[in-house]
Amino acid sequence: MLREAVSNMLKLYSSLHSRTDPRIRDYPLMQGPIQMTTILLAYIVLSVYIGPRLMANRKPFRLNTAMIVYNLSMVLLNGYIVYEFLMSGWGTTYTWRCDLIDTSESPQTFRMVRVAWLFYFSKFIELIDTVFFVLRKKQNQITFLHVFHHSFMPWTWWWGVTLTPVGGMGSFHALVNSTVHVIMYFYYGLSAAGPRFQKYLWWKKYMTAIQLTQFVLVSIHISQYYFMEKCDYQVPLWIHLIWMYGVFFFLLFSNFWIQAYIKGKRLPTTEDKPKQNGSANEPIAVVSNGKHLENGSAHRHTNGKILLGKVKEI
């Protein structure tokens, strides 16, 4: 039984290796699913079990400088990814409708391969988000959905980049997501800089609206596939998965908007001030590679009493 299982695993591995697009095969973390799966499993164990236990009897670290550098570096990285997506197709040759997977070996094709891999690799860099939570003892922020999306997103993108590194219309959501990340990490960089930057954070209440717009754009774009008379996109499975992902998160963030800003009447006021630790008083919902973040804790003072409403990141 064991020998048969091992044999089947080796056959699957060999099949995946043979189907790996030769244009992406030599890139880091692209030689097979074992390496990247091991990294993600280690991330789950460290963030959920080992990390919190190591920090249990220690004081939280103050990581403002590191967070500023990290967030602003992510702004630059995602800005570069957006630029490369535009220059390698979305701003040059793509029609924004039924754009097929490019199987050629033109310079522009290899440019798309590189940026598709870079987007994939950036998801591993974003695991540092959770490291900051652990070191700052923000364990309530490390929820199931937070860990799930941080690990599930790079895992699924490995399969997409392996089989279709020049994804055509299937890569539009990566362009949009990277654009939103430029805004999101810029906000967090300013927030981590402390109260003196509070006056520059008046637009935090619009972050959820930006996220909702992202999901609408992705869902509308990918939905074209179902209404076109003919679209021979080579891997329709990617189309269906992207559509489900966009709709799911649109519903999730719509519910957040209703609960936080309509029923809860939690719209930010002029009394709101960001904390030194980089979190903001009022919750905002943002997504990093598909993860749902509600930033910080909410504090209000009423008749000398402090009302504390914690919000979580998932």
Q: What distance in Å separates the CA atoms of residue 37 and residue 258, rounded to the nearest whole number?
A: 36
Say if CB 117 and CB 165 are below 8 A apart. Answer: yes
Residue 162 predicted with pLDDT over 60: yes
Give the DSSP per-residue string, 219-252.
HHHHHHHHH-S----S-HHHHHHHHHHHHHHHHH
Q: Which residues contact 34 (CB under 8 A, 6 or more apart)?
A: 13
Q: For residue 264, what pLDDT is reported? A: 65
SS3 297: strand
Place of tokens 């029609």: 95
**Which is it for strands 297-302 and 305-310: parallel, antiparallel or unpaired?**
antiparallel
308 bridge partner residues: 299
pTM score of the predicted model: 0.79
Q: For residue 212, what pLDDT is reported? A: 86
Q: Which residues contact 89 (CB under 8 A, 6 or more apart)?
A: 99, 102, 108, 112, 166, 168, 171
Say if CB 141 and CB 197 are below 8 A apart. Answer: no
**Rounded mean pLDDT of the chain?**
80
CA max distance for the chain: 71
- Any long-range contacts for 3-8 (C-beta under 8 Å, 24+ apart)? none
Residue 307 predicted with pLDDT over 50: no
181 as an active site residue: the answer is no
Helical spans, DSSP H, in 128-171: 128-135, 144-163
In tens, the pLDDT along 110-146 reads 999 999 999 999 999 999 999 999 999 988 878 777 7
Annotated catalytic residue within 146, 149, 150, 221 = 149
In tens, the pLDDT along 253-275 reads 777 677 767 776 554 443 343 34
Q: Which residues contact 42 (CB under 8 A, 6 or more apart)?
A: none
Give domain limits for the chain. 29-310
Q: What distance in Å separates the CA atoms of residue 108 and residue 114, rounded to the nearest whole number?
A: 10
Q: What distance in Å separates the CA atoms of residue 152 and residue 39, rounded to the nearest whole number?
A: 12
Q: Which residue has the higher pLDDT, 283 or 188?
A: 188
